[in-house]
A = this chain, B = another copy of it.
Amino acid sequence: MVDVARAAGVSLKTVSRVANNVPTVSPALVERVHRAMHELGFQRNNAAAHLRSGRASATIGLIILDLANPFYSTIAAAAAEVAQRHHTQLITASSGRDPARERELALDLCERRVDGLIIVPTGDDQSYLRPEIDRGTPVVFVDRPPTGLDGDTVLIDNRDGAREAVRQLLVEGHRDIGVVTDALNTYTMAERVAGATEELLAAGADPDAHRIEVGTDDPATAGAAVAGMLDAPDPPSAIFCGNNRILTGAIEELLRRRSGVRLAGFDDFEFAHLLPYPMTVVGYDTRALGRLSAELVFQRGHDSTRALTKYVVATYLVRRGVDPGLPHEREPRVG
């Protein structure tokens, strides 16, 4: 900036004013300064600019589990859109489900003086964020609630979605309903199983008769679990899958054995309507998760005193899949 000032024959401060579009600079000088900037290839240093003024960095951070997963990348895209409206950049980082890395990333982003933080918590203790929150950094938790401290949170109505899906199976007459899930030590999966269990109990069915915790969301492993379930003495006539990857594993297995077992699952997804197996899935507005989280960050940035907010995104049931001519919707065994 000093060089530009010298080249333009003005003071450093005038250059600063021009760089910040301060209106009280004479057009002639503005012109001269612009020319000098161009010639020298001047580029203002953002960090230095923010240093003295203590202004915000115009950056918010997002820590998700895995950017390659469409669920999380959709959240990121929606959050980025809100950020853009606030003239803010979004830094997205993946924790890879590693609590230590989640913490590292969060603290690194705070050191970069982000104006806010959105986190999908993976560890079982977010209390390390206490100092940051006290310092005034807005922190919002999305998809899973925090542990060890309280904070603004945006969740899916996992429990109710699972209840609805299972109720649908019950309404259709099914009583022997399998429940296949990923590891239950994650909040979302635990909630979904809780919802399914509640509904089964309410209907007088045994919620544990056909329950498998696959412990991974690998479709092949889930498919194998489904195979085992169907080969057992009293196989279920319908299966509820805890997420879409388990659901596709189940579909593969059911197609393989040309089974007509009724299928339901959590998560809607692209191409679900094209899969050759009819099913009922629990849909929800994934973008809303990212949008609401980002909006909360900016709201709290403006008013740090407001009460804690908890959003719960609603779910709905959708019929998906096409019938490839298998004996679907077979009569459930009543009783």
Contact = CB atoms under 8 A, between A and B. Distances in A.
Interface of A: 41, 43-48, 50-51, 57, 59, 66-68, 70, 73-74, 76-78, 80, 89-94, 108-113, 131-132, 134-135, 248, 251-252, 255, 269-271, 274-276, 287, 322, 324-325
Nearest to A45: B113
Contacts of A46: 111-113
Contact of A275 (B70, B113, B131, B275): B275
B274 A252 contact: yes
A93 B90 contact: yes
A248 B275 contact: no
A135 to B, nearest CB: 6
A110 B274 contact: no
A227 to B, nearest CB: 17
A172 B80 CA distance: 46
B43 A135 contact: yes
A48 B45 contact: no
Contacts of A92: 67, 76, 80, 90-92
A76 B80 CA distance: 14
A183 to B, nearest CB: 21
Most chain B beta carbons < 10 A, residue from A51, A134, A324: A324
B255 A271 contact: no
Contacts of A73: 67-68, 70, 73, 76-77
B322 A113 contact: no
Contacts of A269: 271
B47 A322 contact: no
Nearest to A42: B131
